[in-house]
Amino acid sequence: MSGRFRDLHQRGNPFILANAWDAGSAKMLAGLGAQAIATSSGAHAFTQGRADMGTLTRDEALSHAQDLIAAVDIPVSGDFENGFGDDPDTCAETVRMAGEIGLAGISIEDTALPADTAYAFDHAVERIRAAALAARALSGDFVLVARADGVLNAQYGIEEAIRRIQAYEAAGADCVYIPMPASMEDLARICAATTLPVNALAAGPFAKVSRAQFAKIGVARISLGAALARVTHRVIHDTAKAMFENGDFTPLTNALPASVTDGFLD
pLDDT score, position 161: 98
* More confident of the two residues 49 and 13: 13
pLDDT tens per residue across span 112-145: 999 999 999 999 999 999 999 999 999 999 999 9
Contacts 24+ apart (CB under 8 A), 32-38: 32/264, 34/74, 35/8, 35/74, 35/75, 36/5, 36/8, 36/74, 36/75, 36/76, 36/77, 36/104, 37/68, 37/72, 37/74, 37/75, 37/76, 37/77, 38/76, 38/77, 38/78, 38/79, 38/223
Q: Any catalytic annotation for residue 122?
A: no
Angstrom distance (rounded) from CA 23 to CA 12? 30
Residues of the chain above pLDDT 90, percent: 89
Kindly list the structural domains of the chain, giving each domain's residue range(s) and its CATH number in brackets, ordered by start: 4-231 (3.20.20.60)
Q: Which of 52, 79, 110, 141 is labelled catalytic?
A: 52
| Model confidence, pTM | 0.94
